[in-house]
Amino acid sequence: MLSGAELNRPAGQQAACTDRKPGLYVHWPFCESKCPYCDFNSHLAGALDNELWKRALLAELDWMLARAESLISRQQPFATVFFGGGTPSLMPPDIIAALLGRLDQQGLLASGAEITAEANPGSADRAQLAAMQAAGINRLSLGLQALQPEGLTQLGRIHSVADGWAALETAQKLFGAVSADLIYGWRGQSLAGWQDDLARIGQLGLTHLSAYQLTIEPGTVFATRTRQGEVLAAEEDLMADFYELTQACLAAAGLPAYEISNHAAAGAECRHNLNYWRCGDWLGIGPGAVGRISLAGQRLEMKTRRSPQGWLDAVARHGHGLDTQTIQQPEEDLTERLMMGLRLAEGVQLSPQQAAQLDQQQLASFLTEGWLTEAAGQLTASQAGWLRLDHLLARLLP
Ligand code: SF4
């Protein structure tokens, strides 16, 4: 998933947008099985001490809140909370309730906050989803990934097509907002089949859909199999056809792209992810979580330890699992701002100083091609620009 997940994970921004309320990302690093294309920080669950995990997450939350006390307050509470993974639908709901309760007690959860959890159909029966909803989740992001048995097999998923439809139906009854994730471009997938899938899902009244192209990420089982000669993903031209078909079908179904891989009806965009792609502040807790905040005039990136046991040990010793803390340099601000902002349909606002740092010859050529547009400092990629975004970024940035 171009990665499906990378795009949904904390990424850059910069200091100019500190007026927005912050977000909180909570990483639950466990799954029932490891999908062969997945490069997320996910591990097989085994037997877990749930009380230990609850105490550790609460401890790190308290530590992060103290670290960011000048940024996060009753006046500037969290507008969004996102439980990602891994598989958060395997997370004991009482841990979700405990974390949200801790925020609520301190007045740090904004009224109307968007509280999302990712879920997988294999671990999202009615009882589990109802418990998550009772714990405070008001938006569910369901990892369907494919709507055909061959697709689920190709992607190494453990749920069936029937499981996916059942989980979606239950989620739509329980949650005010539901999104589904799909992956396209797997081996053997046809354009006609994908068009049927998009038509079926477009009829369900979903207001948000994420459609990611399958990419072969380093370090995954798919990367090993590719090195051994297997062709697991559609070749480039076919992938572009899938992409264009996706854009056209979903726009016709009332779900235009507001980000390169994310589609929503007006007002149903994922506020938490928008905060990443724009230039907000957020804290991250749990193994391998990333947070970025603006403190004392500096842009700070904080990453926690990736290994679940290593993170638990660190929290037990220090009260947090922080692994690295980096101050972002101005040129990194520009890179992140452009990389994230050009993914958005709304584009990105650059200051005159930032715009002057771009390669002006390349910029002029991309504007002429129609891959980018510019108005009053707002730089926007067209659909054709999105198709070659890596190419554009590599040439624009200093
Ligand atoms: S369920 Fe999601 S996080 Fe877990 S291994 Fe599969 S793709 Fe990765």
pLDDT at 285: 98
340: pLDDT strictly greater than 50: yes
- Give residue 348 CA to ligand 1 midpoint distance, Å: 31
14: pLDDT strictly greater than 60: no
Q: Is 37 in the pocket of ligand 1 (CB under 6 A)?
A: no
4: pLDDT strictly greater than 70: no
Please name the residue whose Cα sits nearest to atom 8 of ligand 1: 38
Residue with token string 């749990």: 286
Alpha-carbon dihedral sign for residues 220, 386, 264, 292: positive
Q: Is 86 in the pocket of ligand 1 (CB under 6 A)?
A: yes
Query: What tens digit of pLDDT does each residue of 55-94 get?
Result: 999 999 999 999 999 899 999 999 999 999 999 999 999 9
395: pLDDT strictly greater than 70: yes
Q: Is 120 in the pocket of ligand 1 (CB under 6 A)?
A: yes
Integer Cα distance of 349 and 31 in angstroms: 38
Model confidence at 377, pLDDT cuts 50, 70, 90, reads confident
Please name the residue whose Cα sits nearest to atom 2 of ligand 1: 86
Q: Is 286 in the pocket of ligand 1 (CB under 6 A)?
A: no
Instruction: State what percent of residues in the chain have pLDDT above 90.
Output: 85
Which of 28, 40, 157 best tests ligand 1's pocket when mutated (most atoms within 8 Å of CB)?
Answer: 40
- Give residue 312 CA to ligand 1 midpoint distance, Å: 21
Mean pLDDT of 262-268: 97
For the chain, how far is it from start to end, CA to CA, in angstroms? 27
pLDDT at 297: 82
- Give residue 303 CA to ligand 1 midpoint distance, Å: 20
Q: Is 87 in the pocket of ligand 1 (CB under 6 A)?
A: yes
Model confidence at 170, pLDDT cuts 50, 70, 90, reads very high
pLDDT at 8: 30
Which of 42, 181, 222 best tests ligand 1's pocket when mutated (most atoms within 8 Å of CB)?
Answer: 42
pLDDT at 11: 33
pLDDT at 46: 82
Q: Is 395 in the pocket of ligand 1 (CB under 6 A)?
A: no
Phi and psi dihedrals of 113, rounded to 5? Answer: -60, 140
Model's pTM, two decimal places?
0.93
Query: What tens digit of pLDDT does each residue of 204-247 get?
Result: 999 999 999 999 999 999 999 999 999 999 999 999 999 999 99
Question: What one-letter code names the amino acid at 61?
Answer: L
Mention every residue, 6+ apart, whose C-beta is less than 8 A from residue 222.
Answer: 36, 37, 216, 232, 233
- Please give the residue that has the higher pLDDT: either 133 or 331: 133
Integer Cα distance of 342 and 363 in angstroms: 13
pLDDT at 3: 29
Bond from prior residue into 86 cis (ω within 30 degrees of 0): yes
pLDDT at 331: 77
- Give residue 43 CA to ligand 1 midpoint distance, Å: 9
20: pLDDT strictly greater than 90: no
Please name the residue whose Cα sits nearest to atom 3 of ligand 1: 86
Which of 1, 28, 38, 163 best tests ligand 1's pocket when mutated (most atoms within 8 Å of CB)?
Answer: 38
Mean pLDDT across the chain, nearest whole number? 92
9: pLDDT strictly greater than 60: no
307: pLDDT strictly greater than 80: yes
21: pLDDT strictly greater than 80: yes
Q: Is 288 in the pocket of ligand 1 (CB under 6 A)?
A: no
pLDDT at 110: 97
Domains recognised in the chain with CATH numbers: 4-277 (3.20.20.70), 329-398 (1.10.10)
Please name the residue whose Cα sits nearest to atom 6 of ligand 1: 35
Model confidence at 362, pLDDT cuts 50, 70, 90, reads very high
* Among 143, 274, 154, 275, CA closest to 209: 143
Please name the residue whose Cα sits nearest to atom 7 of ligand 1: 38
8 A C-beta contact, residue 251 and residue 261: no
Ligand 1 atom closest to Cα of 120? Answer: 1
Mean pLDDT of 333-354: 92
Buried b (16+ CB within 10 A) or exposed e, 299-319: bbbbbbbbbbeebbebbeeee
Q: Is 42 in the pocket of ligand 1 (CB under 6 A)?
A: yes
Model confidence at 278, pLDDT cuts 50, 70, 90, reads very high
- Give residue 279 CA to ligand 1 midpoint distance, Å: 27
Query: What tens digit of pLDDT does each residue of 39-60 get?
Result: 999 999 888 999 999 999 999 9
Q: Is 83 in the pocket of ligand 1 (CB under 6 A)?
A: no
The 3-state DSSP class for residue 381 equals strand
